[in-house]
Amino acid sequence: MGEFRDLGIVSTYKTFEELPCWQEARKLCNAVYGIISHGALSKDFALKDQIWRAAGSVMDNIAEGYDDSSSKEFVKFLGYSHRSCSEVQSQLHRALDCGYIDGETFGVVYGQAGECRKQIKGFRKYLREYSGI
């Protein structure tokens, strides 16, 4: 167990899967999969691959950071996840502009990425404040 495990709320989570921000990232991945698995976007292999990898990176970096032994490293990996959420949002604009997704789908998945960003940002702030980073 890393030193950050002693920081209040974090110590209540035994695995990364229990972290609310990871759970939200998983929802984002599922939402992204829903739009890349069919329709015109499924045929644009470059954009499809890029948005899928970015969404996966959100989840994966939370998991990887959780298993590190220091708060500083966890905060760093949460930063990667936060930026990957922004990348997903940017790619959603591209998909919308290309006509691959409609405005409603864009809004739903963009909002999911925004919720992930919000949770990750809050969790990073918490870790920084309580670990003195």
> The domain that contains 74 carries what CATH number?
1.20.1440.60
Q: How many structural domains are present in the chain?
A: 1
Owning domain of residue 50 = 20-131
Structure tokens at 93: 């604009």
pTM, full prediction: 0.88
pLDDT confidence bin for 1, thresholds 50/70/90: very low
Q: Which range in 60-69, 98-107, 122-131 is most confidently predicted, on average pLDDT?
A: 98-107
Written as one string, the DSSP assignment of 72-87 is HHHHHHHHHHHHHHHH
pLDDT of 7-24, one tens digit each?
Answer: 555 567 889 999 999 999
